[in-house]
A and B are shown apart, each in its own frame.
Chain A
Amino acid sequence: DIVMTQTPLSSPVALGQPASISCRSSQSLVHSDGNTYLSWLHQRPGQPPRLLIYKISSRFSGVPDRFSGSGAGTDFTLKISRVEGEDVGVYYCMQATHFPYTFGQGTSLEIK
């Protein structure tokens, strides 16, 4: 299975400040069709996860533009340009290039 490793595991950030989360995969996530199926999800306490970013950098419908994704191959990054209170929770990267799909272990974002 592809192992997805996120850093940091915990990130205290002040309101209005930027935040960055890294995700590294144990193998390249470039699919044979040329796409890279790396996504980012956000889970608030007591709620299901919600999709933020797919295919490295495409924002899902309704996701604020303060969220951006980048990367290639095995190294990916989620950036929040200015953290707001509603951004607290756990962020997961997920790969859907190789079966079985796998998630990172999660990064907890908290307000400093």
Chain B
Amino acid sequence: DVQLAQSGAEVKKPGESLRISCKGSGYNFNSYWIGWVRQVPGKGLDWMGLIYAGDSQTRYNPSFQGQVTISVDKSTSTAFLQWSSLKASDSAIYYCARHKYSSGWSPDYWGQGTPVIVSS
């Protein structure tokens, strides 16, 4: 079965750094794109960007470019989303999702989400 297992909830202070993870299993991780989606509780979905696991090619939403970094470690089939300096407005649930051409580039499998709380 295709699974995306995300790291656990995080509570951080403004200005701190953070890296959350998304480990793929049950499929050839290196042959697919992994995307990240933000959801502020009670609000809608914001697409942040995606990375091709095979060669780390990355496409960012300009709204998030420079605010976050998306990366991948092929050896562990894990994608990452990281911040160098968190703000309170980064508080949200972050989902990873697999994208593939044959599903119309749609996010076909999703992780369970990683809640991030940024508060002083």
Contact = CB atoms under 8 A, between A and B. Distances in A.
* Chain A, interface SS category: loop
B45 A58 contact: no
A103 B63 CA distance: 14
Contact of B106 (A39, A100, A104, A105): A39
Contacts of B108: 51, 54, 60
A54 B106 contact: yes
Interface stretch (B13-21, B66-74, B81-89, B110-118): B110-118
B46 interface: yes
Given A49-B45, A103-B45, A105-B44, A96 B104 contact: yes
B110 A50 contact: yes
A101 B38 CA distance: 13
A48 to B, nearest CB: 4
Interface in A13-59: 35, 37-39, 41, 48-51, 54-55, 58
Given A48-B113, A49-B110, A100-B62, A55 B46 contact: no
Main secondary structure, interface of B, reads strand
Interface string B92-120: 00010101000111111111110000000
A94 interface: yes
Nearest to B105: A96
B45 A37 contact: no
Given A49-B45, A101-B61, 11 more contacts: A37-B104, A37-B105, A41-B106, A50-B110, A51-B106, A54-B106, A55-B104, A55-B106, A60-B106, A94-B106, A100-B63
Q: Which 8 A-B pairs have the closest CB atoms?
A: A54-B104, A100-B61, A96-B105, A55-B104, A39-B106, A48-B110, A54-B106, A101-B47
Interface of B: 35, 37, 44-47, 49, 59-63, 95, 97, 99, 103-113
Interface of A: 35, 37-39, 41, 48-51, 54-55, 58, 60, 92, 94, 96, 99-106
